[in-house]
Structure 1
Amino acid sequence: MNNEVQTNENNVQGRIDQGAERIKQATSDAVASSKEKFDRAADRVEERVHHATDKAAHAANRASDKVSEATERGREAYDHARERADEWLEEVREYVREKPVQAVAIALGAGWLLGRILRR
């Protein structure tokens, strides 16, 4: 009988060992599957972050281009206005050289009118 108990005990231990191996294998499979899923999710997140970064950089570059264009247009408008002011000033100087008495009379009249307006 001792052999029979020994055999039963060996069978039980064998089944316990087999069960433990199945549990370890199932755990390893579950961990491996979880790692794969996590890696795929991380890859998707990384791809989306890269895509969003590219879009943000593109938008920033476009904004920078627009600012440069606006700056250039502003510079051109300033240059044009300055040229016009210089031309007008030269015309005024020429008028004063040609007609100094009339220029003084106009300046006095404009000063008097401005004084009346500002006094109110």
Structure 2
Amino acid sequence: MNKQVENSESIAASRIDERAERIKQATSNAVASTKETVERAADHVEEGLHRATDKAADAVHKASDKAAHVSERGREVYDETMDRADVWLEQARDYVREKPVQSVAIALGAGWLLGRILRR
């Protein structure tokens, strides 16, 4: 009878080992499947982040180019305005040199008018 008990115990131990192996295999398969799913999700997120980064960089480049263009145009307008002011100032100097008495009279009149306006 001891042999039957030993044989039964051996069979039970063998079944336990088989079931343990099946559980380990199922666990390994589940973990492998989960790893693949996580890796695919991570790849998808990474691709999305790369696209977003590229779009952001492109937008920054466009904004930088636009700012440079606006700055350049502003400089051109400033230079044109300064050139016109220089021309007007030179014309005023020439007028004062040619007609000093009239220039003083105009300056006095403009000062008096400005004073009247600012008093109110």
TM-score range, shorter chain: over 0.9
Aligned equivalent of 1:96: 96
Aligned equivalent of 1:67: 67
Task: Flag structure 1 segments of 5+ consecutive residues without an equivalent.
Answer: none
Counterparts of residues 26-65 of structure 1 (less than 5 Å)? 26-65=26-65
Moved over 3 A (4+): none
Amino acid at match of 1:10: S
Query: For 1:46-89, what per-residue CA distance to the aligned partner results, in whole angstroms no more than 9, with x for missing partners?
Result: 11111111111111111111111111111111101100000000
Aligned equivalent of 1:4: 4
- Normalising by structure 2, what TM-score? 0.96
Amino acid at match of 1:39: E
CA apart distance, 1:2:
2.3
Query: Alpha carbon RMSD of aligned pairs, Å?
Result: 0.8
Mapped partners of 1:53, 1:3: distance in 2: 73
Amino acid at match of 1:6: E
Counterparts of residues 74-89 of structure 1 (less than 5 Å)? 74-89=74-89
CA apart distance, 1:9:
1.5
